[in-house]
Each structure stands twice: as C-alpha cells, then as structure tokens.
Amino acid sequence: MNDLTSLTIHEAHDLLKQKKVSSLELTKAHLERIAAVEPKVKAYVSVTEEIALAQAHEADARISRGEIGPLTGIPMQLKDNLAVNGTRTTCSSKMLENFVSPYDSTVAKRLKTAGAVLLGKGNMDEFAMGSSTENSAFFPTKNPWALDRVPGGSSGGPAAAVAAGECLFSLGSDTGGSIRQPASFCSITGLKPTYGLVSRFGLVAFASSLDQIGPMTKDVRDSATVLQAIAGYDSMDSTSANRPVPDYSASLKDNITGMKIGVPKEYFDGVDADVGEVLKRAMGQLAQLGAIIDYNVSLPSTPYALAVYYILAPSEASANLARYDGVKYGFSANAPTMWHSMEQTRQQGFGPEVKRRIMLGTYALSSGYYDAYYLKAQKVRTLIRREFDEAFKKYDALVTPTSPTPPFKFGDKVADPVKMYLSDVDTIPVNIAGIAGISVPAGFIEGLPVGMQLIGPSFSEETLFRIAHAYQQATGWHKLRAPVQ
C-alpha cells in the first residue's frame, strides 16, 4: 500500500493544508490503488473516475484560495444505495442495475458541499439484506484481511474499501448491523448514529423505522469528522430530528475516568470463546483507562430481539419494495399484460433473499396474522427499549461484541438463512431501540479481525466517541492495515 492510501482523513487533511500534497495527487493515488486491488477485493460496483478528477481539481482550487474544511479534497466512496445525481444507484440488484439517480441524497449533497471527492459506489447485499455481500446480484466482496472470507454486510463493499485503502472513508447504512458488523469483520470504525440524526432522504428505503446512514472510517477521529458533515435536521426527511448538532471532535479531548460502562451478559451467550477472550481484554483496557466496569448487567428481553427484527424489518421492506413494478423505473420484464409483466419483473429482478423477506413481511402483515406477528413484535420492541432506558439511568454506555464470530468463509452460512441472521444478533437491538452504537477494532484471532461494540442512549454519539477514542489511543489496533496488495 502506498503512503497516501494508508492515511486517515485527518492525516491527509494536514498534508493538504500544508500544501505537501494536492487533492489531485491524493485522488490519483486512490484510483491507482483501486486499479491494483479491485480484481481481488471487488469493493466497488462503479468507479466514478471522471467525477473524482473534476472534483479533485475543484478542491485544489478551493484550497489554493485558502478555503479548506476538514473534508475538502478527501476521496470517499458511498454505499450503492445512496443517490448521487447523474450516477448509477444499483443497490447491488438486477432491479436497479441501470438506474441513474435524478437527484442527490442529502448526505451526498452535504459531502459535496464539504468538498469531498467521489471515487465510486460500494458493493452491498442486495437492497441491504444480508450479512456477507454474498447476496449482491453482481459479485461478492472479499475481506482484505483474508480473501477467502466475507467482509460482512450489508455494507461489505464500504468496509472492505476502507480497510484496503481504496478510499479514505465511506458511508454505509445500518438497519440491523449493516455498518457495525462489516466494520468489525474488516477492522475499521463503523458508527450507527441515533435514528433521526442523519437524514435518510435519497437512501433507498429498506425498513424505514430502522434504517440509518453512518460513517465507515479508519479511526474514531475520522468518524467524528464525517458525522459532523452529515448530521443535522433535514426537512426532506420527515423522521429527521430537529435538534442542535454538537461539536463531535471536542468530545475526543476528554478522558474516561469515572465513566460507568455496563456489560450486558445476554450479549455473550452463544459468542465464540475466542471472541469472548478478545472482549475480556478490551474491557480490562477500558478499566485501566479509569472507566468503572459493571460485569453484572442483564437486559432480559435481548434474546427476543432477533425475532422482533425479522418480523418488523421484512414487514416494512415488503411495503417499501412494492414500488418495483417495472413501470416507472428499473428492470422491466417483457410480457403481454401489466400483471404478467409485474410478476415476472419481480421474479427476475429480485434475488432469493429479497424475495424471502418480501414473502415473510407480506405474510406477517396479512389478514389474520397481523396481531400475532407484527403487533406482538412492536410490543416486544417497547420492552427492549425500556430495558435500555433503565440501563442508561445507571451506565454511560454498554460494551458488547459486535458479532459473535470473526469473519466466516464464503458459503458457510448462505444456504441457511437463520444461521446467517444470527451474525447480527448483537447489533440488532440497537436499531430496534433507535439508539447509537459504534464498532471499533479490538484485536485479532489468527489474523482475523474482532470488533468491540459500544452502545449508548439516543444522541449519545459524543459519549461513544469519547470512550472509543480513548480506547484507540491506548491500544492502536486501528492503525494496523490489511495485508492485501
């Protein structure tokens, strides 16, 4: 890996500011890195070289006028379910293979305004449904730490691109763990912000009460910088929270002495013994930094979160994906009548996991089953939220594994949906409660990354950054770069 592609955002920013490097040099170095490693990693659905070079020129012009912000001239990737005007947004689905967005998502617009440079769009599980990128209709992404293993999902392309030095940062979306689990698998930092903190306008909808966009970066400082650029009220998203955005970088200065961190025991049930050991060491380090760790926390409704999620998310998805009818945009099967065309469009345009979830959601919402499934799941959702609310009266944050296992091999889980779903068992409760969670690198098992998840109450991103940053300063796992060449 050459020097420029191993940098963090803040290191690259310092070089740009001191005029030791130009955005064009930085951008070209990343395009070269993409050309070199993409045949192995396959993290990009599309590379937008022309846009990148034009935006880099523009950024250099701004910098020469002395107008430099923290993201000016910084090369980035975006997950391919985020709309960028005039570029393809495929969701890694045959349904949207040739769809060109007619407008910018709010996050893309804000990053453009901040001067970031778009290198391209990241591969994902189709419509963000999956935990390994094996559900991409185009190709799976490989883990840059071990090419025979999955990078996690659904934001596997973004996680692998950041880990392999193919961009300085990316944005993912997280409905049940789709930022944090791949961040854990690829040894990067991934934040799922509080529901409502980042506008979902221009994010292709999966499960609207759970979806949230967040930064995927090389360290916590970069995560704070990217969140600062994308957070805040947006009238185009009716679930956007109208509240002031704090200065996230300021929270990195404080130590964590006396902070109270709880360890909910249910999150360690069914976790690989090796992963448990890594977490034990990480918690020991948090204690050494002055945090008060309580190992006896219980959130008894946790075991029900997976079932709640696999009722609510497919139900919402079945409604959101009804729009793909082959009439207005997207893939359209040729058949003599409208109904035949619609049924064949959806048969040919959606992959197996998407169909499975549409079927599941349609069943859960259908007449006679609504109370037993959907309504029941919404009630248990309330119980899960209440338990978190109670816990956060006593603790500043909770610490758990991000995923029960290190990255697994291709083909290990794809044949058994229930087995695959278990990969998100530790991240799902956070989406159900709408609160904030971050995954940071916590070590390795035989060369395979393991992540630590920190969970905080709604709008506690400053607290999570503070703890996670202190941990990174003391450990340095985040400084190790993936070996792929």
Q: Catalytic: 154?
A: yes
Q: Restricting to residues 416-475, which ones interact with another protein according to CB under 8 A? A: 417-418, 433-435, 458
Whether omega for the bond prior to residue 154 falls within 30 degrees of 0, making it cis, is yes
CB of 156 to another protein, least distance (A): 22
Query: Residue length, the chain?
Result: 485
Asked if 178 is an active-site residue, the reply is yes
| Binding flag, residue 375, another protein (CB under 8 A) | yes
User: What's the Cα-to-Cα distance from 315 to each of 234, 304, 318, rounded to whole Å?
Assistant: 26, 17, 5
Choose the catalytic residue: 23, 42, 79, 423: 79
Which residues, in sequence order, are bridge partners of residue 82? Answer: 203
* 366 lies in the site for another protein, by CB under 8 A: yes
Binding mask 173-192 for another protein (x = CB under 8 A): --------------------
The C-alpha torsion from 63 through 68 and 70 to 73, rounded to 10°, is -20
Contact window for another protein (CB under 8 A) among 158-166, 249-257, 273-281, 344-352: 344-352
**Any contact of residue 145 with another protein (CB under 8 A)?**
no
Among residues 136, 154, 315, 403, the one annotated as catalytic is 154
358: closest CA among 66, 194, 127, 12? 127
CA R_g for the chain: 21
In the block, residue with structure tokens 């609510």:
312
Nearer to another protein, 113 or 347 (CB): 347
Grouping H, G, I as helix, E, B as strand and the rest as coil, residue 133 is coil
Stretch that binds another protein, among 5-13, 99-107, 167-175, 403-411 (CB under 8 A): 99-107
Q: Among residues 35, 61, 287, 359, which is the contact residue for another protein, using CB under 8 A?
A: 359
Burial of 319 (0-12, 13-18, 19+ CB in 10 A): middle
Angle at 433 between CA 291 and CA 401, to 5 degrees: 45
Say how many residues touch another protein, by CB under 8 A: 67
| Min dist. Cβ of residue 172 to another protein (A) | 19
Residues 324-333: contacts with CB within 8 Å, 24+ apart? 324/95, 324/349, 324/350, 329/96, 329/99, 330/95, 330/96, 330/99, 331/94, 331/95, 331/96, 331/97, 331/98
335 contact partners, CB below 8 Å, separation of at least 6: 341, 343, 344
Q: Which two tokens stand for residue 366?
A: 């259908």
323 in helix, strand or coil? helix
Residue 344 CA to residue 340 CA, distance in Å, equals: 6
Which of 235, 255, 257, 298 touches another protein by CB under 8 A?
A: 235
* Minimum distance from residue 276 beta carbon to another protein (Å): 24
448-456 and 212-217 strand pairing = unpaired
Among 178, 223, 251, 318, the active-site one is 178
257-316: contacts with another protein (CB under 8 A): 301, 303-304, 306-308, 310-311
The reply on whether position 358 binds another protein by CB under 8 A is yes
Residue with smaller CB distance to another protein, 69 or 330: 330
Per-position x/- string for 31-70, each x denoting binding to another protein as judged by CB under 8 A, each - no binding: ----------------------------------------
d(CA 134, CA 126): 9
* DSSP 8-state class, residue 193: P
How distant is the alpha carbon of residue 79 from its chain centre?
9
Q: Is 40 annotated in the active site?
A: no
Question: 170: cis peptide before it, omega within 30°?
Answer: no
Binding region for another protein (CB under 8 A) out of 1-9, 49-57, 218-226, 353-361:
353-361
Rounded to an integer, what distance in angstroms lies between the CA atom of residue 73 and that of residue 411?
39
Binding of residue 127 to another protein (CB under 8 A): no
Q: Which is nearer to another protein, 265 or 385 (CB)?
A: 385
Among 327, 370, 390, 394, binds another protein (CB under 8 A): 327
Q: Which residues are annotated as catalytic?
A: 79, 154, 178
Give me the residues that bind another protein (CB under 8 A), please. 98-100, 102-103, 195-196, 209, 235, 238-239, 241, 301, 303-304, 306-308, 310-311, 318, 325-332, 335-344, 346-347, 350, 355-356, 358-360, 362-363, 366, 373, 375-383, 385, 417-418, 433-435, 458
